[in-house]
Amino acid sequence: MTDGGVRAAERLQEDRVLLGRTSTAERVAAILRQRITEGLFEPGTRLSEESIGAALGVSRNTLREAFRLLSHEGLLVHELNRGVFVRRLTADDVVDLYRLRRLIECAAIREGGRPSGETLAALRGAVNDAERAAAERRWEDVGTANMLFHQAIVELAGSSRLDEMMRQVLAELRLSFLAMKNPRAFHEPYLWRNRDILKLVEAGDTPGAERLLADYLSDAERQLVQAHS
């Protein structure tokens, strides 16, 4: 094989993740995740193996695997011999989740070196997506884009495990967003604040970005805690 061929083959290795086929259980989990986060299944409701399995056309065994995936994400809670339920978050849960967000996101900004081109693109893309969604009055999508922005913030640290932890925190947090009756009033203001944070990150002003981020998180926590009590 030529040198060029070797180099091309090496580059292809990066595409292996794109090639990742998904099992039926994972696809089922993705569907349920979507339905839960959009509020079709309210927190506390039980997800019957039989009815959902029949509705989706998958076997009980496969559905159970999907349930287990979502339980590990924190979206469902599994009670032995009783089934799985959509998680119901308490105010304490929200406090705990925001404690983790502060810890994870601030550490990522503080200890993350120069942002790679890839994450920088992700940050800008998330802000742009949020603005576009806001312009079209799709407030749920604004929330999603905002969350992707913060996921990208964590990527600054360059730790795959930290990324995974953040993913989990945000997945749970989505449940708490369901409690906000006015999505626009809740999500829209953070759009501007994210853009401000992005500017400081781009300028290399780490302490400033961390300060803005901390304020952001405190405000969001306050709103959500109030909605959960």
Q: Which residues bind a second copy (CB under 8 A)?
A: 20-23, 61, 64-65, 68-69, 72, 80, 96-97, 99-100, 103-104, 107, 157, 159-162, 165, 169
- Interacting residue with DNA among 39, 43, 83, 125 (CB under 7 A): 83
Q: What are phi and psi of 86, to 5 degrees?
A: -65, 130
Strands (E), 11-120: 46-47, 76-79, 83-86
Q: Tell me how far, at minimum, the Cβ of 1 lies from DNA, in Å.
A: 6
Q: What is the DSSP letter of 181?
A: S
Q: What are phi and psi of 84, to 5 degrees?
A: -110, 145
Residue 137 interacts with DNA (CB under 7 A): yes or no: no
CB 187 within 8 A of CB 146: yes
Helix (H, G, I), strand (E, B) or coil at 3: helix
**Which amino acid does the sequence have at 188?**
E
Structure tokens at 189: 């203001």
Q: Tell me how far, at minimum, the Cβ of 100 lies from a second copy, in Å.
A: 6
Which of the choices DNA, a second copy, none does residue 50 contact, using the CB cut-off of 5 to 8 A by kind? DNA
How far is the C-alpha of 61 from the C-alpha of 4, rounded, in Å?
Answer: 47
Nearer to a second copy, 164 or 202 (CB): 164
Q: Tell me how far, at minimum, the Cβ of 58 lies from DNA, in Å.
A: 4
Residue 49 interacts with DNA (CB under 7 A): yes or no: yes
Residue 229 interacts with DNA (CB under 7 A): yes or no: no
Nearer to DNA, 61 or 90 (CB): 61
CB 107 within 8 A of CB 157: yes
Residues near DNA (CB under 7 A) are 1, 21, 23-25, 46, 48-50, 57-62, 64-65, 78, 80-83
